[in-house]
Structures are given as structure tokens and as C-alpha cells.
Amino acid sequence: MRTARYAAALAALLATAACGDTVIVDDLGDPPGAPRDLDALYTWVLQGFSGVQAVGQPAVDITWLPPTDWNDEVFRVYGKRQSSSVFSLIATVTSCTEAGCAYRDVNVAPNEVYEYYVATTDEADDQETSSDFRVSVRTPSAARPAAPVADSVTALDNALFLRWHDDANGVNLSRYVVYLTRIGGDTYLYHLGETDGTGFVDTRAENGFTYGYRIAAVDTMGHVSNLSGEILGVPRPDATAELVYAFQDVPAESGFRFQPSEATNPIVAGTSPQAQWRLESDASGWRIVPLNGTQVVEFPGRTTALACGPGADASCRAATRAPAAGYQTGPIAVSPEFSYVFRVLDANSQFHYGVVRVQLLGSDASGNDLMIFDWSYQTAANDPRLSRTR
């Protein structure tokens, strides 16, 4: 399709020739090639959040490929509502590559049908060649998905596992966006990542800091929900398959001190002033003996894991929060698959909480009694959250 100017020049040339006159006209040259693979899709553009309210607008993304003989000509985008009889020039696109071209029309409203075509334009002589066909797009209603419901945060070693649920949005949901909202006392709204499931692991979280998160749902048309409620968590160091001997058999390896990093050996002598507890075993059974001001309490009921992180089944049970009362400074009997919560004092006389989950009570090849266990330690002072926070 040529422009009106090119068509008018051609008509004038033919009319004059029919009268027998000789006319010399400017050589307009060959018109440019036609754009290829024109397409248009509806989307919704998120502009930000006002509090927890998502703010945005509908849009249409128009894409095409340059002509095969493209010589860096620009492209003009024409559009109209279906109810209108006249196309209008809505954009001139100069930033195009061989890989493709795009333009986003944000001047659209819900519940309308829009039509578009694109023309390759030689600006030197104003010649145009339009795409072989037009595309039409229907913009849907302004309905957006419901906000997901934040569930919990499971504290891991230098990581946090977030969970949420969504019973309102159904099959039209595309993905979830996770936002970081807090680190310690500072607040943010940082796009942390996306997932199509209802869980997310933040592997950039560092032990001992409080992190906050909110989640937004995105449907298949790009509509973004309001933000969920905020959930908070504090990562803490942990270790698995630690081994400590009974004091009666190997006293030099019978004591334990919670460490802010699993890289530091927590096993100390059972007589060390640094020991926070030690293991003892005799004919009366196995027991943990608190030392140097440490207090201990058995977490109620059998546990299946130190923490119920990613991949844990629905029956997983862990010591998620330190009990508020019931601590003792005397020996406490221990059993496999039970967890024990400790309250220890740091150098500033502030309480920290740790948990030990017993895997095995047994002996080595030499007959020395031992305990194999998992442990975690909350480096944030006076914070009872051990692995999971609602």
C-alpha cells in the first residue's frame, strides 16, 4: 500500500500521459518493503504500589519483523477503535532491529476492540508500505486477581523458605511475584523473584537479620493483584549429623556450644567453661546436662525434622518456636526423634535460643556411648523463632 502522496503523483502522471503531453516527474524510487509477522497482544502494565494497592493500566503490545530488504527505514504504527472508521498515526518507531520491533500502546480502555497496522516508511520521500493485514485485540474488563494469603516462613541456614496459599484465583493464574519488604529496621519494596508455585526460597538472606516479604499474584493477562500481608523470618545457622560422646567415655568430646556458623566446631570438652551443655550416659539412661547458666526444655511431642524446609511432606513436624516457659537448669532425659530447646546467655547477657533434635543414641566400635543430632541456633538476641514463623 502506498501513501496518498505517492498515489496522487502516480494518478497525475497517468492523467497527463492520457492527454498526450510529455511530463517529467521526480523519481520517487521503489517503495520500501512491507513489515512482516504483525501481532498484537493485550497486557496490563504495573506502575507500582500505593501501600498494598497495585497501580497500573491496560496496554496492547504490538510486534512485527522488518521487511526482508529492510534498509533502516522507520515504522509508523496506526490504530483505531473498532467502532471508528479512521485509522490514526499513534507512533513512529525508530528503535528497531533485525530481530524484531515493538511498540506498547497505553492509550487503551477496558472492554474495547482495537485494530492496528504498521507501515515501513522511507522518510526521504515519505513513501510507505503497510503490513499485509491488520490485527485486532479485545481489551478485557478491569478485573484483577485476588491477593494471595501469606502463610509462613521457615528459617534455614542463610536462607528463608516462604509459603503462601491461594484459593481464589483458579486456572487463570500465571505466576506469583515475591517482594522483599524489610531487612532489619529498614523497609523496601524490592522485586525479589517469581514462581508458578506457592513457595519460594530466598537464598540471599543472611543469618541473624529479620527479613520481611509480601507476595502478589499475576494472571495470564498480566493483571497484578494487591500485595499479601507481610511475613517475617530470621535465618539461623544449623548443622546435621553432629556427634558428641558421653562424658563418662570421652570427656574431651562430650560438651557442646552453639555457634553462629556451622564452620566453627561446636564440640568442646565437657568440663570447659565454654560448654553450654554436655552429654552423660549411665545405667539410668541418656541425659543432657545444662552448663554455665544454660536452660533447657523438651519441645512437646515427637519431631520428624529439625526444620520443615522445601520438599518437606505435609506430616513434617519441627520445633518452630521456643516455648515461653518450662526451662530447667538440671539434667533432662533425651530420646531419639525428640527436640530440645535451649536458652543460653551471650557476652552481653542477652538470651539466645537453640534447638537440638536427636537422631540416634548408640555407641561406636570401641563401645563409647554417643549421640548423633541436628542443631540450629538463633543468632538474633531474644528471638524465639527457631525455624518457622506464621
Residue 311 is predicted with a pLDDT of 82
* CA 93 – CA 77 distance, rounded (Å): 8
Beta strands in 146-294 (DSSP E): 149-156, 159-165, 173-183, 186-195, 199-202, 211-219, 231-233, 238-245, 255-256, 267-268, 277-282, 285-290
For residues 87 and 117, the answer to whether their CB atoms sit within 8 Å is: yes
Residue 314 is predicted with a pLDDT of 85
Q: Assign 90 to helix, strand or coil.
A: strand
User: H/E element holding 104?
Assistant: strand 101-105
For residues 372 and 363, the answer to whether their CB atoms sit within 8 Å is: no
Check: pTM over 0.75? Answer yes or no. yes
Residue with cell 520500501: 32
* CA 218 – CA 216 distance, rounded (Å): 7
Distance of CA 69 to the CA centre of its chain: 43
C-alpha neighbours within 13 Å on the C-beta side of residue 44? 23
Query: Which residue type does 259 have?
Result: Q
Distance of CA 358 to the CA centre of its chain: 34
For residues 175 and 164, the answer to whether their CB atoms sit within 8 Å is: no
Residue 168 is predicted with a pLDDT of 86
Pick from 26, 22, 38, 49: which is nearest to 75 by CA? 38
Residue 193 is predicted with a pLDDT of 95
The backbone torsions φ and ψ at residue 215, rounded to the nearest 5 degrees and listed phi first, read -125, 140
Can you read off the three cell numbers belonging to residue 76? Answer: 509508523
- The series of mean pLDDT values per 10 residues for the chain, 390 residues long, is 40 44 57 96 95 96 96 97 96 94 96 97 93 95 90 93 91 93 95 94 94 96 95 93 97 96 92 97 96 97 93 90 96 98 93 97 96 95 84
Cβ neighbours around 375 below 10 Å, total: 23
